[in-house]
């Protein structure tokens, strides 16, 4: 058998995308295909989905604490995931595995990129930045260390092989910041992105101005960019749009689409996919979800079609999940073989010792998306028919993460909660890794099913061929269907509205991956 070359491996690892061939075009050419973009002007947008890390943050210049997750306004990463969920380079000019095990990766970073303060970006800045990311970013914790191999050369050492590592580098946290200790890095708000931060009011508003030295020639087109947080204030955002205060509103409630489609000067721009809800089923001592039959009963009882229809307004704006973290539009997604089945749900409950139905603990959720209240009301109502009584409680976004995760040490008794969290569409490698037993989102799942799942995951990560990985991923999704470690019933397609005069603005399934580089006002 012929050993694949590094370049072949990379191509396969990226699902066949000819990343190296795309490098020049993506790096040199403008991102927008619009004819004759116009320079200048201010664009103000309202964001209906905030950054849950905000809390009482007093420094929202740090990329981890900006008002929204669109860190690319002020920062850049090594790669970017495009609107079709394909990875393309951003500040990397070369990216390839340095070992056949795919656990060492070499990156050449782009030369001549300047920070907002005028300093040139080198590999040392990247290495320092990843000292923070590998400690704090959920997808980067597999990075054991980095090594500067030259002024523009960087090597990543992973704890195991990862055929989809370029996707990890595209995560919105993984930006480059001027080198500093990992505990202090990023506090100044200096990045390399198309805009420089002018002012930041925590959880309320950020103002950016054009970065004249941006590495993408002639971009950005706008002189000024403003983001206003209208999380939980949908009406205020729409009023501001109608009153022409906002040029765009991102992540609106899908149920408003019908109304907004008929309005003058309003473009409704959907993405092909978006976040889905994860219902975490805790498996701490005393939890009913230790019993797989109860987990499966709940999975069968939820009316996913009703969620799609009532919460999202149909298949154009929402999609049905398969209890894995995979997005419905992913070519490797496998739909659940059986939909809602009340008889099966009741039989499973009876088998588990609850022939007359069961009362579950309170299900907590935070209104991270405008429609979440409605979402859980539909779940509450539809599971009743299977004899499942479910009380729901809304908690504020601030502090929610800490609240739902509790203490990792179960001896403290502050257990992780039966609760909702949102998850965005990513490549299968990252998505399926989220169901690992060590992650809160799986409710700390364990057992033979979990062990088989992780064995398959490790196999997929060192399998360069995308076709072979697809088979492995299908089996992993089958395990999620059988074991229901968590429930992911349905997801949204992200929707933004904008004025027709706003050109080059594309919506993105990853709400954090929208870019403003090629946006201009006619």
Partner 1 sequence: MLSAVLRRVFLSLLTLFFLAAFIFAATEILPGDALDVTLSADEMAMMPPERLAEMKRDLGLDRPAVERLGAFLLGVAQLDFGRTIISRAPVVDIVAYPLRNSLLLAGAVIVTALPLALILGVSAARWYRRPLDNVVSTGVIVGYSVPEFVIGTFLVMLFAVTWPLFPATITASTRDPALTLLAAAPLPVATILIGSIAYLARILRVGMVDALASDFVERLRLMGVPEWRVLLLHALPAAVVPSLMATALYAAALVSGIVVVELVFAYPGLGQELVRAVTRREVHVIQAIALASAAIVVVFNLLADLAILALDPRTRM
Q: How far is the CB of 335 from partner 1 (least distance, A)?
A: 34
Give, as ranges, the residues between 362 and 391 that touch partner 1 (CB under 8 A).
362, 364
Shortest distance in whole angstroms from residue 378 CB to partner 1: 22
Residue among 265 and 351 whose Cβ is closer to partner 1: 265
Closer of 339 and 396 to partner 1 (Cβ): 396
- Spatial CB neighbours of 186, under 8 Å, sequence gap ≥ 6: 61, 62, 63, 64, 129, 132, 175, 177, 180
**69: its two tokens:** 């997750």
Residue found under tokens 């092989």: 161
Between CA 334 and CA 321 the distance in angstroms is 9
Quick note: the x/- pattern for partner 1 over 398-437, rule CB under 8 A, is xx--xx--x-----xxxx-x--------------------
Task: By CB under 8 A, name the one of 186, 240, 370, 425 that touches partner 1.
Answer: 240
Cα–Cα nearest to 31, from 514, 504, 508, 509: 504
For partner 1, the closer CB: 3 or 58: 58
- Rule CB under 8 A: is residue 58 a binding residue for partner 1? yes
Q: Of these, 396, 408, 438, 451, which contacts partner 1 (CB under 8 A)?
A: 396
Residues 327-366, one symbol each (x = binds partner 1 by CB under 8 A, - = not), give ----------------------------------xx-x--
Q: Please, which residue, 231 or 330, has the CB nearer to partner 1?
A: 231
Which range, of 21-29, 136-144, 226-234, 441-449, touches partner 1 by CB under 8 A? Answer: 226-234
DSSP symbol at 114:
B
What is the pattern of x (binds partner 1, CB under 8 A) and - over residues 25-44? -------------------x
Beta strands in 62-138 (DSSP E): 79-81, 87-89, 92-97, 104-109
Pick left, alpha or beta for residue 2 (phi over 0 → left; psi -120 to 50 → alpha; otherwise beta).
Answer: beta
* Three state DSSP letters for 295-313: HHHHHHHCCHHHHHHHHCC
Nearer to partner 1, 35 or 243 (CB): 243
**Residues whose CB falls within 8 Å of the CB of residue 409, separated by 6 or more in sequence, listed in order:** none
Residue 21: its H or E element: helix 19-28
Name the residue nearer to partner 1 (CB basis): 201 or 351.
201
- Please, which residue, 165 or 376, has the CB nearer to partner 1? 376
Candidates 236, 359, 468, 501; binder of partner 1 (CB under 8 A) is 236
Q: How far, CA to CA in Å, does 509 sit from each of 105, 179, 506?
A: 27, 31, 10
Residue 236, H or E segment: helix 234-242
- How many chain residues are in contact with partner 1, going by CB under 8 A? 38
What mask of x and - would describe binding to partner 1 in positions 279 to 298, judged by CB under 8 A?
-------x------------
* Distance, CA of 52 to CA of 422 (rounded, Å): 11
CA pair distance 203, 358, nearest whole angstrom: 40
Residue 289 burial by Cβ neighbours in a 10 Å radius (0-12, 13-18, 19+): buried
Sign of the alpha-carbon dihedral angle for 335, 338, 344, 346 = positive
Query: Measured from the CB atom, is 362 or 468 closer to partner 1?
Result: 362
Q: Within positions 476 to 515, which residues make up the interface with partner 1, using CB under 8 A?
A: none
> Shortest approach of partner 1 to residue 239 CB, angstroms?
4
| Distance of closest approach, residue 228 Cβ to partner 1, in angstroms | 5
Q: For binding to partner 1 (CB under 8 A), which residues are involved?
A: 44, 55-58, 199, 201, 204-205, 226, 228, 230, 233, 236-237, 239-240, 242-245, 286, 361-362, 364, 393, 395-396, 398-399, 402-403, 406, 412-415, 417
């Amino acid at each position: 058998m012929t050993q694949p070359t590094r370049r072949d491996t990379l191509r396969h690892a990226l699902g066949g995308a000819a990343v190296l061939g795309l490098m020049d075009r993506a790096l040199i050419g403008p991102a927008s295909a619009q004819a004759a973009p116009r320079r200048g002007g201010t664009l103000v947008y309202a964001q209906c989905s905030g950054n849950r890390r905000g809390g009482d943050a007093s420094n929202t210049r740090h990329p981890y604490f900006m008002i929204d997750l669109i860190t690319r306004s002020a920062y850049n990463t090594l790669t970017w995931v495009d609107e079709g969920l394909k990875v393309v380079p951003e500040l990397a000019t070369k990216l390839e595995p340095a070992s056949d095990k795919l656990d060492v990766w070499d990156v050449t970073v782009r030369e001549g990129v300047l920070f907002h303060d005028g300093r040139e970006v080198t590999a040392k800045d990247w290495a320092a930045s990843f000292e923070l990311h590998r400690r704090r970013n959920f997808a980067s914790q597999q990075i054991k260390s980095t090594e500067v191999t030259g002024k523009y050369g960087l090597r990543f050492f992973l704890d195991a092989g990862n055929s989809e590592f370029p996707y990890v580098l595209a995560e919105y946290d993984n930006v480059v910041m001027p080198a500093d200790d990992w505990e202090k890095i990023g506090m100044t708000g200096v990045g390399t992105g198309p805009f420089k931060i002018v002012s930041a009011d925590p959880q309320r508003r950020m103002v950016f101005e054009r970065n004249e030295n941006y590495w993408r020639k002639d971009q950005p087109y706008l002189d000024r960019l403003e983001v206003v947080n209208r999380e939980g204030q949908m009406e205020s955002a729409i009023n501001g749009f109608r009153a022409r205060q906002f040029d765009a509103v991102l992540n609106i409630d899908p149920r408003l689409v019908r109304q907004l489609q008929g309005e003058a000067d309003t473009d409704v721009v959907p993405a092909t996919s978006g976040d889905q809800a994860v219902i975490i089923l805790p498996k701490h001592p005393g939890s009913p979800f230790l019993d797989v039959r109860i987990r499966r009963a709940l999975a069968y009882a939820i009316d996913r079609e009703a969620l799609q229809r009532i919460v999202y307004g149909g298949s154009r704006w929402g999609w049905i999940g398969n209890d894995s973290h995979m997005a419905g539009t992913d070519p490797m997604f496998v739909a659940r073989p059986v939909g809602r089945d009340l008889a099966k749900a009741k039989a499973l409950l009876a088998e588990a010792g609850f022939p007359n139905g069961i009362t579950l603990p309170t299900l907590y959720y935070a209104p991270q998306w405008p429609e979440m209240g409605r979402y859980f009301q539909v779940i509450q109502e539809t599971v009743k028919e299977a004899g499942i009584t479910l009380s729901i409680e809304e908690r504020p976004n601030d502090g929610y993460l800490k609240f739902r995760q509790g203490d990792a040490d179960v001896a403290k008794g502050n257990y992780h909660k039966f609760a909702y969290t949102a998850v965005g569409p990513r490549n299968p490698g990252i998505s399926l890794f989220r169901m690992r037993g060590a992650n809160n989102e799986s409710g700390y799942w364990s057992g033979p099913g979990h062990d088989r799942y992780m064995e398959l995951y490790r196999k997929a990560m060192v399998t360069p061929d995308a076709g072979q990985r697809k088979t492995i991923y299908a089996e992993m999704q089958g395990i999620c269907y059988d074991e229901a470690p968590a429930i992911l019933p349905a997801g949204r397609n992200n929707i933004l509205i904008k004025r027709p005069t706003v050109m080059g603005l594309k919506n993105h399934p990853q709400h954090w991956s929208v870019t403003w580089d090629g946006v201009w006002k006619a």
